[in-house]
Structure 1
Amino acid sequence: MMPRGWIFGLEGQEALVEALAPATGFERGRAELGGFTDGERMVRLGEELAGLPVVLVGATSPPVDSRVLTLAFMADAARRAGAVRIVAVVPYFGYARGERLAHPGAPIPCRVVADLLQGSGITDLVTLDLHSPAIAGFFTVPVVEASALGLLASRFAGASARRTVVVSPDAGGIKRASHVASLLGVPLGVALKQRLAPDSPRVLQLFGDIEGKEALVVDDMVTTGGTIQQVTAQLRQHGASAIDVAAVHPVMAGEAEGLLRSLGIRRFVVSDSIPFTPTPWPGFEVVSSAPVLAEALARCLGPTR
Structure 2
Amino acid sequence: MRRRLIALCAAVVTIAMLSGLPGLPGLSGLSKQPGLPGLSAVPAQPADIKIKPGKTPRGPDAGPRLDGSSIIDGDRKVPVPGNPIALVGASDDAYIVTSGFRGGARLLRVDEDGSRVLATAEEFDPTLSADGTRIALADRKNRRTVTTVISASTGQKVRRTTWAGSAYVLDFDGDRIVVAGPKRGYLWNLHTGRSRGIVRGALYVADLGADRMAVAGKAPSKGRCETVSTITRPRTTHFRTCRDRVITFSDSGARMITGSRSADFTTVRLRTIGGKKLASYTISRSNWNIEGPSFETDTTVLFTGYSGYLGAVYRCTVTACERASKWLDNPYF
**Fold agreement, TM-score > 0.5:** no
Higher relative contact order (CA 8 A, sep 6+): 2
Greater share of strand: 2
Greater share of helix: 1
The TM-score normalised by the length of structure 2 is 0.27
